[in-house]
Amino acid sequence: MVSNEQLSGRVIQFPGRGRRGQGLPPTTRFKRDAKLAAIPVAYAGRRAKGLGQRMIGKSPAEIDLDIQVRTAEHLVDVLGDLRGCAAKVGQMASVYRTAMPLVPLEFGELAGDALGRLQTSAPPMMPALVHQVLAENLGPGWREEFREFNERPAAAASLGQVHRAVWRDGRAVAVKVMYPGARKAVDSDLRLLRSLSGVIAVFMPGADVAAVIETVCGLVDDELDYHREAAHQQACADAFADDPQYVVPNVVAHTDEVLISDWVEGISVNRLISGGSPHERGRLGLLIFHFLEEAIHRAGVLYSDVHPGNFLVLPDGRLAVVDFGACEDYPQDMRSIVIELGEVVYNGTPAQLEEALRRHGFVRPEQDFDAEELLRIVTPFRDVLIQEDFRMSSEWLREQVDAIAVLRLSNVFRQMTLPPQLTAFARKVGTTIGTLSLLGTDGLGPAFLRWWPEVAESVRRFENSGRVHS
């Protein structure tokens, strides 16, 4: 393990420093391919250089740390610069930043901080490009729609950037502008990112990186539909109007490439992960969880992109939720599936679990399946609902990912598949567990069972059976 002393003075560079003057992501196949191809080549070069350094007496731990940090710097810089699917993969990897059993803990935290910046930071567009998009979408007289427009972006992310402005009626608004060429970039990223699966796997141990890449690219297509995003956001804004705990900004106007919403002022939950008190982080974790369930109950909206950068804490303590690009209508049969699987996980046999998974499309008919192994893996997650005061944590999540990532002759997750209609739900579950673990959330069990009384009944019967500690 590398010591804290060895880490002192190391700074991971964040994307956007020293980038092109235009602030425009490369869209040609040649340019994007060249940037991505440079990552594994540079990584191999660092490994070769490390062998030479060992020969002159440099410690293996110090060499490995240098290789890992430089690779993280390079990967974050390129993903942030490319945006599109590339940056979205980086954002998803950041959710797993505390679950990195293949690298030293201290490096995992450093790389995670860097990857987390992809959620709120990317090279900004220059004003001329912003004006171009606004003119194409709002007309040549677009400035007449605003009393004020701040040229400096308030936030720059993977597919667009946000500017603060004052709308023609005097209200403060957030103007989300899609990057020119974003759709073209997304179309080409899937092929390019496949070549990077080995390097990205360093930051997502235990994950099927190839499947993650394809899933993310499919989801990004939806996130490029601002009309769809506006509909989901306004549905939630109406559902949460005047709510004492939550704020969802109203949609003011939207076009193909511009989305204008009410402005909300707050502190990103990202900042509170390292700076907030344990009590405040735990409170926010439960607020986020309850919002996700409330959005389904009140508006029928499945919010699947659960990362800290999408939540703001307002001065009065309320939680504001932004960025509704990764939303879906809630699958009609999802609730019955969760209830049935909950019953067999707590009170069923391995054979009953296997039968249920096959019936719902999680295991193909011809595929062998080790249901007992799956039950062993899900037991720590099952037990979260049993212990009322259980605290989720980075260490707990890392232990679970480590157990899943252990190489086995028969890996149960390779025997399973994900029904396409449940992709967004699976993304919601995975990113929620990651975010709540980062926040150190406790009391999730009672909160979950409040929304799922049928599962609560399964848990009650399991506890009464005396098998809780078996």
pLDDT at 31: 56
Q: Is 443 found in the same domain as 397?
A: yes
pLDDT at 53: 56
Cα 191 to Cα 75, 182, 427: the distances in Å are 17, 16, 21
pLDDT at 96: 42
- The verdict on residue 279 lying in a domain is yes
Domain that holds residue 275: 127-178+225-329
Neighbours of 32 (CB within 10 A): 24
Question: Which CATH number does the domain housing residue 160 bear?
Answer: 1.10.510.10
pLDDT category of residue 100 using cuts at 50, 70 and 90: very low
- The verdict on residue 184 lying in a domain is no
pLDDT digits (tens, 9 = 90+) for 116-165: 444 444 567 888 999 999 999 999 999 999 999 999 999 876 678 999 99
Q: Is 410 helix (H, G, I), strand (E, B) or coil?
A: coil
- Of 329, 359, 386, the last residue of a domain is 329
Q: Is 340 found in the same domain as 251?
A: no
pLDDT category of residue 217 using cuts at 50, 70 and 90: low
Q: Is 348 found in the same domain as 318?
A: no
Cα 227 to Cα 157, 230, 385, 386: the distances in Å are 19, 5, 38, 42
Q: Is 342 found in the same domain as 306?
A: no
C-alpha–C-alpha distance, residues 225 and 215, integer Å: 17
- The verdict on residue 469 lying in a domain is no
C-alpha–C-alpha distance, residues 178 and 180, integer Å: 6
- The verdict on residue 445 lying in a domain is yes
- The verdict on residue 251 lying in a domain is yes
- Of 296, 329, 362, the last residue of a domain is 329
- Of 282, 312, 329, the last residue of a domain is 329
pLDDT category of residue 88 using cuts at 50, 70 and 90: low
CB 54 within 8 A of CB 116: no
pLDDT at 183: 75
pLDDT, mean over the chain? 77
- The verdict on residue 115 lying in a domain is yes
- Strands (E) located in 126-209: 146-156, 160-167, 172-178
pLDDT digits (tens, 9 = 90+) for 346-393: 999 999 999 999 999 888 888 888 899 888 888 888 888 998 889 999
Torsion 245-240-430-267 (CA) sign = negative
Q: Give every strand in the sheet of 311-313, ordered side by side.
A: 246-247, 319-321, 311-313, 267-268
Mean pLDDT of 26-55: 58
The residue ranking higher by pLDDT, 181 or 25, is 181
Q: Is 433 found in the same domain as 351?
A: yes
- The verdict on residue 426 lying in a domain is yes
CB 208 within 8 A of CB 413: yes
Q: Is 402 found in the same domain as 354?
A: yes
pLDDT at 466: 75
pLDDT category of residue 25 using cuts at 50, 70 and 90: very low
Q: How many domains does the chain have?
A: 3
pLDDT digits (tens, 9 = 90+) for 444-454: 999 999 999 99
pLDDT at 106: 38
The one-letter code for the residue type at 317 is G
pLDDT category of residue 172 using cuts at 50, 70 and 90: very high
Extract the tokens encoding 58.
């440099």
- Lowest mean pLDDT: which of 23-37, 128-142, 213-227? 23-37
Q: Is 254 found in the same domain as 142?
A: yes
- The verdict on residue 365 lying in a domain is yes
pLDDT at 84: 55
Neighbours of 376 (CB within 10 A): 12
Torsion 114-118-124-125 (CA) sign = positive
Q: Is 253 found in the same domain as 238?
A: yes
